[in-house]
Structure 1
């Protein structure tokens, strides 16, 4: 066949195949247009899951009568004019493909009115971009786009739609996620004339948290840490769930870049790394995060539906996200967040504690240590640590003199540390402690394991990474691209304790490894690091393996279950927990302590009822 031009309607239908996957895709494009129009209120009416009707109305700036035909034509937009504009896109849309694409697979009507106009104007479109005939309409200021009979002229596409309930669930989920991106806008969603969502603009922090609680559940707000972190021209704000509040699926993970909801492998990897030391295996963290950066540093034109972005400085963004989240989670300690037991079912690990409001911060009393009564690390492990010279023996419990509970007179109950004072060692496993708000149960082994682990990590990080030369250097065949990466990252490898030299176009020679990992599979370790550098621009493999060994050492050196502790030892451990990062979880992500409030205790015994 000879080369020929495709009909305009067919071109738009092809574009619709990329942009309009299902009714929720239409809603996304139309609501983003409302964002760009400066809307303060957006109403979304759905019928039959969006297959019969999708109507989006806003109170934005509107479209001039003369521009209505252009709004329904391909590659016509008010948002960019030059290549420089494309490289600094700050709007949600900019291609000018959405409306003509939608009109080619549905019956579309556009009504709009600008400020100061005598009336609104209505125009219908069928994807041919011809025969536009604007008609006057009494519509108020703003724009309404009405999409009826989606895929009526493409029956093959219509057959792929799911049930009405399923399609509307996709729409509701999308609207909720978009509502989290713009607190300054009100949203109203109806389905078959029934109101489903009615979110008013949320200007204050309290109103914003109320909106988040309405979408993610009140348990999320009760179990999250607020983030506000800025560095190197990047700013990260939002909320991240505590490690003990997690889910089995990644269905409560919302990440926005300059207000745009995205899913990105680099972001997912940075978040995973930040939670690696504290999250129970197989669980997924929850978060609502907003990354703000110069639009010139992020390419939003990397995906037809703009669901993915491309960062110009990927490694910088990755390290920034990891550092912000890692530090924020580490700073959560007793006295700032308090674990509680909730009687309602929450999607979190078995026996995982929830978090509630912070207790008043108090300085723990000073204890005078005496010689430890607990055994030191096993001899083989201790010799291994000393041989490397970079570590010290794992810390052991110090046994201070038993300190009696102070008299509690008056409601203020002042002078009591966040984790209270130990009163008993239950079954030689759990520490029972009394606090101003109730009682606390602590898994002594899990808590001491975290304390020991964090101290070992600090001791290891304070000195240079000791290297262990290999008796026989290992020659490793890699791709030329991986060899280039290794050559360029020579200093980075040295910081990790790896000495790597290039001996050919596709050959590397590994001459030394970190002393702590002398017995590991060095070739696999190097290949894993190269794979991470290729994919993410950074690697945590060496640190992960080092931390795994340190965690094992901490576990062996921690107080064992069924070993009876004195009151002084128990109080010393409680004070250490109050000063230790990530003390709410053991090295495996399990909770180390929970609290029962006096109100909950009263409920158990029906007091005051």
Structure 2
């Protein structure tokens, strides 16, 4: 049995070219612009932002499947504007003369007609000094403009999403999953516009519903506003452990906040990148973020950052995808380099700093189980009272006992100013691995092996940077046969690999010849190494494999050359280690991103003992 032809054939049995009607065109466009309820929310909220709104409210029912309502206080539209706004490629954002000089979120003029083609869309709007008007479109059929009641701004109400294309409903996830996706979209846009207030409510079943997310408008300069907004969206822990980023080069500026390596995450959920204020999911920029933290985190940990890259709109093309989530830079290397160098410089400037959440976790481990009621409250006694109490509690000497000199080894006194240093003055060593130091405001516990390992590792890296990576020439070059695409891709990165001691060159056809390998790696299977690099290039657009192998060797050398666990250290050695940590960038985490020390504040310690 012959299967029917998927093509629409004419009388002569050949395909016939037809002009699709407006309704079909809008439904096709909706498949690109509106993938799920979260896509509809994104388009409508971006329209509100383009209208100059200072407050935006989003109401959702049944995960956005039955209701999405976006209310804003923007400039609004007149009754004459409403039918035009529902026409394809009608927009107030651009005049069509220059598709690169774009300063708004939207510009394609597809969102509203696409939503009207697959759902029941009602727009009510009012301009300042004018009358409110309303229009409805359902399944692509537009109604007449009618008078309405509205104080200001615009209300867009979308009901029964995909009722006109019911097959699309089968591909939607549960109400909870769709609501979670909507929440993420609203939070992203709230971070992009910290001076705008956002409210997200779940109103399934009617009534006022419950507020899922609220962020009030913030004032001050950009960094003050962003600081307050990130605290509301990502939490206080992130902002307390984040470093301010503000670097500019070659007409591009990178701003935002990046977290310390010790505040790493198990996934990339706290990585947010914006280009000229637009949230994007760009592989080039996210890859650059990964490279910047490469030397501080193990491969199963991910950095947390909120970064905004600002440049002339003509240097970046945002019209490469209907959802505008991808961008293309005219000078991609400049954008990538700015992120890598800017983040690395900022992380180096943080010195030995480690995440504050490490100390919180330590205190939580010390804290006893809560008791129903406090048994007693001990006030802090004065020093004379303590001395009298200690004398009273001292054991009585037996008759005829002559007091002998104290049986302890005299240790050199600590440096007078050591206690005023960030990591304080070493007081003792416990379990032959942990140094206890006293600071002005509390105490520090240092893992001596992890800390010294990082110090040696940084020293080896500096030496390698000064002398370069020695390459070992192969007696007989190894020829690796590749596909034409893979050969072109690996040769495009030949200069970068050569700086790491891996020299490759074309060998005719699609083969490449490996002539040198990094000497520090010893014997290397060049063919396997080349193919592993190609896999990483295809997956992530960049390869850190050779660098990772070299730094893994340096890390092993640092481990063997550092102070071992179980070794007793003299006071001057412990203090010397603390001073070197303070002077060495990145010493707050070991080679795998774990903390090298924990800081406990005196006030927190006193709370553990019920003194506060």
TM-score interval for Structure 1 and Structure 2 normalised by the shorter chain: 0.7 to 0.9
Please give the alpha-carbon distance, in whole angstroms, between the structure 2 residues aligned to 1:490 and 1:15. 42
Q: Secondary structure at the match of 2:262?
A: coil
Deviates more, 1:517-526 or 1:224-233: 517-526
Q: Secondary structure at the match of 1:594?
A: strand
Q: Deviations over 1:309-330 (max 9, x none)?
A: 2223223322221222222223
- The corresponding residue for 1:311 is 329
Q: Secondary structure at the match of 1:146?
A: strand
Please give the alpha-carbon distance, in whole angstroms, between the structure 1 residues aligned to 2:362 and 2:575. 31
Q: Secondary structure at the match of 1:519?
A: coil
Do the aligned partners of residues 280 and 530 (structure 1) sit closer, same or farther apart at CA in structure 2, a change above 3 Å counting? closer
- The corresponding residue for 1:600 is 604
Correspondence 1:365-384 to 2 at 5 A: none
Deviation (angstroms), 1:71: 0.7
Q: Deviations over 1:150-179 (max 9, x none)?
A: 223333323444443333222222211110
- The corresponding residue for 1:116 is 129
For structure 1, the residue ranges without an aligned partner over 5 or more in a row are 347-400, 408-412
Deviates more, 1:64-73 or 1:586-595: 64-73
- The corresponding residue for 1:69 is 83
Determine if contact 2:246/2:256 at 8 Å carries over to the other structure. Answer: yes
- The corresponding residue for 1:570 is 574
Residue 231 of structure 1 pairs with residue 249 of structure 2: yes
- The corresponding residue for 1:7 is 21
Residue 29 of structure 1 pairs with residue 43 of structure 2: yes
Q: Deviations over 1:346-366 (max 9, x none)?
A: 9xxxxxxxxxxxxxxxxxxxx
Correspondence 1:481-500 to 2 at 5 A: 481-484=485-488, 491-500=495-504
Deviation (angstroms), 1:403: 5.2
Specify which of 150, 162, 187 is matched with residue 139 of structure 1: 150
Specify which of 111, 118, 140 is matched with residue 128 of structure 1: 140
Specify which of 404, 425, 428 is matched with residue 421 of structure 1: 425
Specify which of 167, 174, 179 is matched with residue 168 of structure 1: 179
Determine if contact 2:263/2:355 at 8 Å carries over to the other structure. Answer: no
Please give the alpha-carbon distance, in whole angstroms, between the structure 2 residues aligned to 1:336 and 1:111. 52
Please give the alpha-carbon distance, in whole angstroms, between the structure 1 residues aligned to 2:557 and 2:418. 38
Please give the alpha-carbon distance, in whole angstroms, between the structure 2 residues aligned to 1:21 and 1:481. 33
Determine if contact 2:479/2:514 at 8 Å carries over to the other structure. Answer: yes
- The corresponding residue for 2:109 is 96
Q: Deviations over 1:349-400 (max 9, x none)?
A: xxxxxxxxxxxxxxxxxxxxxxxxxxxxxxxxxxxxxxxxxxxxxxxxxxxx
- The corresponding residue for 2:454 is 450
Please give the alpha-carbon distance, in whole angstroms, between the structure 2 residues aligned to 1:468 and 1:310. 39
Please give the alpha-carbon distance, in whole angstroms, between the structure 2 residues aligned to 1:286 and 1:595. 22
Q: Deviations over 1:21-64 (max 9, x none)?
A: 22222111100111111211212222333222211121222223
Specify which of 195, 204, 213 is matched with residue 197 of structure 1: 213
- The corresponding residue for 1:155 is 166
Correspondence 1:360-439 to 2 at 5 A: 404-405=413-414, 416-439=420-443
Deviation (angstroms), 1:282: 1.7
Q: Deviations over 1:51-94 (max 9, x none)?
A: 22211121222223322211101121222333x52122222111
Determine if contact 1:423/1:432 at 8 Å carries over to the other structure. Answer: yes
Q: Secondary structure at the match of 1:599?
A: helix
Determine if contact 2:419/2:439 at 8 Å carries over to the other structure. Answer: no
Deviation (angstroms), 1:244: 1.5
Determine if contact 1:314/1:536 at 8 Å carries over to the other structure. Answer: no
Deviation (angstroms), 1:532: 5.6
Q: Secondary structure at the match of 2:167?
A: helix
Determine if contact 2:287/2:542 at 8 Å carries over to the other structure. Answer: no
Aligned residues: 546
Q: Deviations over 1:269-316 (max 9, x none)?
A: 222222222224522222211111222222222222222222232233
Deviation (angstroms), 1:541: 3.1
Specify which of 323, 345, 357 is matched with residue 327 of structure 1: 345
Deviates more, 1:14-23 or 1:595-604: 14-23
Deviates more, 1:103-112 or 1:539-548: 539-548
Q: Secondary structure at the match of 2:480?
A: strand
Deviation (angstroms), 1:489: 5.4
Specify which of 264, 268, 275 is matched with residue 246 of structure 1: 264
Q: Secondary structure at the match of 1:341?
A: helix
- The corresponding residue for 2:560 is 556
Specify which of 592, 595, 601 is matched with residue 588 of structure 1: 592
Please give the alpha-carbon distance, in whole angstroms, between the structure 2 residues aligned to 1:575 and 1:158. 63
Please give the alpha-carbon distance, in whole angstroms, between the structure 2 residues aligned to 1:97 and 1:252. 30
Please give the alpha-carbon distance, in whole angstroms, between the structure 2 residues aligned to 1:161 and 1:316. 39
- The corresponding residue for 1:380 is none
Determine if contact 2:450/2:596 at 8 Å carries over to the other structure. Answer: yes
Specify which of 25, 39, 52 is matched with residue 38 of structure 1: 52
Please give the alpha-carbon distance, in whole angstroms, between the structure 2 residues aligned to 1:216 and 1:223. 12
Determine if contact 1:73/1:129 at 8 Å carries over to the other structure. Answer: no
Q: Deviations over 1:154-208 (max 9, x none)?
A: 3332344444333322222221111011012111222212333332211224443
- The corresponding residue for 2:226 is 208
Q: Deviations over 1:218-249 (max 9, x none)?
A: 11112111111211222111111212112223
Please give the alpha-carbon distance, in whole angstroms, between the structure 2 residues aligned to 1:86 and 1:568. 66
Do the aligned partners of residues 29 and 554 (structure 1) sit closer, same or farther apart at CA in structure 2, a change above 3 Å counting? same
Do the aligned partners of residues 279 and 110 (structure 1) sit closer, same or farther apart at CA in structure 2, a change above 3 Å counting? same
Deviation (angstroms), 1:336: 9.0
Correspondence 1:525-536 to 2 at 5 A: 525-529=529-533
- The corresponding residue for 2:370 is none
Residue 87 of structure 1 pairs with residue 105 of structure 2: no
- The corresponding residue for 1:50 is 64
TM-score by length of 1: 0.84
- The corresponding residue for 1:353 is none
